[in-house]
Amino acid sequence: MASEVLKKGGEVTSEVWGETRGFDFEGMRFGVKAWRASASGAREGSALSAPIVLVHGFAQQASTWDKVALSLSRTGVECFAFELAGHGKSARPTVGDVPGREAFDLVFQAQALLAFCEAVAHVAGRLPVLVGYSMGGRVALQAACLAADDLRDGGELNRISLRSFAAFAPCGRSGRLDVAGGGQRDTAATSADDVAQVPEARAPFAALVLESAGLGPADAASRGALRERNFAWAARVRDEGVSAFMGWWAGLPLFESQQYLSADQRERLRAGRLANDAESLALSFEQAGAHAMSSQGESIRTLCELAAKGIPVSYLAGELDAKYCKVASTLQAESQGAVSCRVAPAAGHNIHLEQPEVFASILKEVVESCTPEPAAP
C-alpha cells in the first residue's frame, strides 16, 4: 500500500504508512500499522526517541490509535500499532479451525508481542515503550510476566518466532526506518541473524504503560467466575451475531462516557466494532479473556520487579471509569508507589479515544524518560 503523506500548511510534517506486510509469528500473521516520525518534530542533535508499540482493545483495530500516534509522530516519535488475533488485518480463523483457535491463546499472543517489540527495537534502533489498552493491556501485561520470568532466570527469552523477523518491514522499505530528513541512521537491511545479536537478560521494551487494564483474577473463585462470564459472552456473540452483540456491548456502563464523543467519532467507533466477525470475538473471550491471565498477585509482583530493574511502569485510568480507578488505587497501594498510577480527567474507559491529546502528552513524558540526553559536544 502506498504511503499517505500528511501535509500541514503546505509543509510535510509526517509520513504515515498504510498497513505494513504484517508480522509473522509461528505461521500467524498479525496486522501492523506504523506512523513515521516527523523530522521537524525532533530536536536538532537530540538522541533518537524511543519508539512506541500500541496494542488496541477488544473489537478494535490499529486505527483506534490514529489521533494519538499522529500527535506523537509530529514530535519525532515513531509509533507502531500491533493488531491482536482476529482483529483488523490480522488473520482470522474459520469455525472449527483448531490451529486458528490456538492463535488466540493469551500466552501465544503475548509471545508474539514480545517478538514484535524485538523487531521494532531493531527497526527503530531503540527499545520501544509498550502500551496496552484494556484487552491489549491484558496481552501487554502477560508479555511483561513472560519477560519478568526470563529476567528471574537470567536467560534468553524463548522467542520462537524470531526466525520470521525479516517478514516485518514497512512497505517499500528493506531496511531500518529513518527519521524523515533527520540525522544519519543505519539503513542496512535487517535479518533474522541480527536478532540473535541483541543483548539478552533484559526485557524487550524500555517502559510499560497499561491503560484501563485488569490485573488478573484475585483468587481461584474469581478466575472461575470470569471464565464462566467470558464463555457466556462467547456463546452470546456466536448466537446473536456481531451487530446485535455490539449493540449490547456499547450500552455497558463501562462505555457510558463515550456518549460525549462527537457523532462522527461514535459512528467510526461503531463501524470499527461491526468490522469484526463473531468467531474471532468469541475466541478472544474464550482464549484471551481475563480468566486466562496470571493472578493479580503475580501481575503486581511482575510490575514491581520491572520497576526495580529500571523499567518504568505506568497505569492510567479515566476519572469517569470507577471500575478501573479502583484498580489503579489497588495497584498504587500494593506496589507501594513503584508503579506510577495516574487518573486522566474528563475521560472514561478509553482515555486515548476520549482525550487523545492528554494521552499523547503522558506517553511523550514516558518516552522522554527513556531517551537519554545527547552527549555534550
- Mean pLDDT for 343-358 is 97
Output 280 or 178, whichever has higher pLDDT.
280
Q: Name the band, by pLDDT with cuts 50, 70 and 90, for residue 99.
A: low
Residue 98 pLDDT greater than 60, yes or no: no
Q: How many domains does the chain have?
A: 1
- In a domain, residue 36? The reply is yes
Give the residue carrying C-alpha cell 488475533: 85
Exposure of 147 in the CB half-sphere (CA atoms within 13 A): 30
CATH number at residue 106: 3.40.50.1820
Query: Exposed e or buried b for every residue in 81-98, given b needs 16+ CB within 10 A?
Result: bbbbbbbbbbbbbeeeee
- Mean pLDDT for 76-86 is 95
Beta bridge partners, 130, equal 53, 208
The amino acid at residue 237 is V
Q: What is the pLDDT of residues 2-25, one digit of tens each?
A: 223 222 222 222 334 444 568 999
Nearest residue to 115 (alpha-carbon basis) of 93, 82, 149, 138: 82
- Mean pLDDT for 296-308 is 97
User: Which pLDDT does position 235 carry in this prediction?
Assistant: 98
- In a domain, residue 200? The reply is yes
Nearest residue to 31 (alpha-carbon basis) of 205, 175, 171, 198: 171
Q: What is the pLDDT of residues 29-57, one digit of tens each?
A: 999 999 988 766 555 445 579 999 999 99
- In a domain, residue 247? The reply is no
Residue 135 pLDDT greater than 90, yes or no: yes
User: Which pLDDT does position 151 carry in this prediction?
Assistant: 86
- In a domain, residue 308? The reply is yes
User: Which pLDDT does position 193 carry in this prediction?
Assistant: 44
Question: What is the extent of the structural domain holding 16?
Answer: 4-219+293-370
Least confident of 120-124, 129-133, 162-166: 162-166
Output 69 or 99, whichever has higher pLDDT.
69
Q: How far apart are CA 319 and CA 314, in angstroms?
A: 16
User: Which pLDDT does position 218 carry in this prediction?
Assistant: 97
Give me the chain's average pLDDT, please: 82
The answer to whether 168 and 28 are in contact (CB under 8 A) is no
Q: How far apart are CA 65 and CA 12, in angstroms?
A: 21
- Mean pLDDT for 289-293 is 98
What percent of the chain clears pLDDT 70, i.e. is strictly above it?
Answer: 76
Q: Give the 3-state secondary structure of residue 318.
A: strand
- In a domain, residue 242? The reply is no
User: Which pLDDT does position 162 carry in this prediction?
Assistant: 38
- In a domain, residue 365? The reply is yes
Q: Name the band, by pLDDT with cuts 50, 70 and 90, for residue 188.
A: very low
User: Which pLDDT does position 152 carry in this prediction?
Assistant: 82
Give all strands (DSSP E) within 248-289, no chain letters.
none
Residue 329 pLDDT greater than 50, yes or no: yes
- In a domain, residue 188? The reply is yes
- In a domain, residue 228? The reply is no
Output 35 or 376, whichever has higher pLDDT.
35
User: Which pLDDT does position 179 carry in this prediction?
Assistant: 24
What percent of the chain clears pLDDT 90, i.e. is strictly above it?
Answer: 69
